[in-house]
Amino acid sequence: LSERSPESFLGELLAAGLLALSGVDGVYGRREAFDRVSDAVDALVLRETAEDGAELIRFPPVVPRRTIEKSGYLASFPNLAGSVFGFEGTEGEAVELAARVQRQEDWSEFQTPIDLMLTPAACYPVYPWVAAAGPLPENGRLIDVQSYCFRHEPARDPARLQSFRMHENVRIGSADEVFAWKESWISRGTALLASIGLGAEKVVASDPFFGRAGRMLSVNQVEQELKFELVHPIAGEKPTAIFSVNYHQDHFGHDFGIWTREGEIAHTACFGAGLERVTLALFAKHGIDVADWPDDVRACLQLNSADGHP
């Protein structure tokens, strides 16, 4: 399995009617069987985390530019960010724009950045919302988000998408509370994946901070074990991160002004499940036809009735 290349796995998924090409690398349509499984993964994560009493909120896949500016994202990942632009010109400029499009010429000068960017991780809209509510309640907060995320990293790899969905839980509280919560996800995430037949491995990881200064941030992140991933083979030589846990310490608490009841800067951490990646890992592990998957895996994902298997 791990010997197949990402590109050949993509070919298999297209041939099997699971994905559809869009014309741009890293952006694929999910066809019915794939979509049903990825929705089942989403629901599985929700069932798991609902037990914790997480507050559910859903934001659209755009985030105020101000939020991204405040978070430091543009210093760390300028290469991954996506900005939304709009036309704010005159009628004459609109005519010129259309003419340039017609001639297949560059029309970017008629585009102005608007107040929005594409959401880079599902948790970003949470921080300003929580900050605006004032000091945290006792025991902090736990918030469940799910969103399309955008990262400008085109590749011919079904596991490296430009637009994908992330289901996250965000824990905000005291340093002790947040540290304990993120540690609990090592065994909890491993067990959750085991319940759907995925034997994932925990690895200490780092984010792809941009540039030479960024490399030092990555080293620091690894040394302090601020990020770990649960990885599973999908395609290619190395296993792929399907769950990630990020401990931001007081970074976002500081940037957005989130305080505990005791007046300390809040710590934050998030657990994130990549819905497409977990789905791909399931197809890579159990086969391209859901009907052939082990009964207990289908039962755990509640896929039984939908595919005609009682």
Q: In angstroms, give the least distance from the CB of 41 to ligand ATP.
A: 11
Pick 40 or 270: Cβ nearer Zn ion: 270
277 in contact with ligand ATP (CB under 6 A): yes
Shortest CA distance to 193 belongs to which of 45, 22, 65?
45
Question: What is the pattern of x (binds ligand ATP, CB under 6 A) and - over residues 109-148?
Answer: ------------x-x-------------------------
Residues 220-249 that bind ligand ATP (CB under 6 A): 229, 241-244, 246
Q: Decide if residue 270 touches Zn ion (CB under 5 A).
A: yes
Report, in Å, the least distance between residue 223 CB and Zn ion. Answer: 21
| Dist. CA 256–CA 271, nearest whole Å | 20
Q: Which stretch binds Zn ion (CB under 5 A): 20-28, 36-44, 119-127, 225-233?
A: 119-127
| Rg of the chain on CA atoms, in Å | 21
Using the rule CB under 5 A, is 196 a contact of Zn ion? no
What span, in angstroms and rounded, lies between the C-alpha atoms of 144 and 123?
9
- Residue appearing with tokens 């959750």: 192
Structure tokens at 105: 């010429």
> Which residue, 159 or 282, is less far from ligand ATP as judged by CB?
159
Tell me how far, at minimum, the Cβ of 198 lies from ligand ATP, in Å.
12
Nearest approach, Cβ of residue 138 and Zn ion (Å): 24
Please, what sign has the CA dihedral across residues 63, 65, 71, 76? positive
CA dist., res. 288 & res. 17, Å (int): 10
The token duo for 195 is 């319940």
**Of these partners, Zn ion, ligand ATP, none, which one is at the site of residue 161 (CB under 5 to 8 Å by kind)?**
ligand ATP
Please list, in sequence order, all residues whose beta carbon lies within 8 angstroms of the beta carbon of residue 94, skipping any fewer than 6 positions away: 87, 110
Do 65 and 115 form a contact (C-beta atoms < 8 A)? yes
Residue with tokens 């969905």: 165
Q: At closest approach, how far in Å is the CB of 216 from Zn ion? A: 22
Position among 18, 40, 68, 123 found at the interface with Zn ion (CB under 5 A): 123
Residue 303 in contact with residue 36, Cβ under 8 Å? yes
Residue 145 vs 290, nearer CB to ligand ATP: 145
Q: How far is the CB of 85 from ligand ATP (least distance, A)?
A: 22
The amino acid present at 300, given as its one-letter code, is: C
Return the one option of Zn ion, ligand ATP, none that residue 40 interacts with (CB less than 5 to 8 A, by type): none
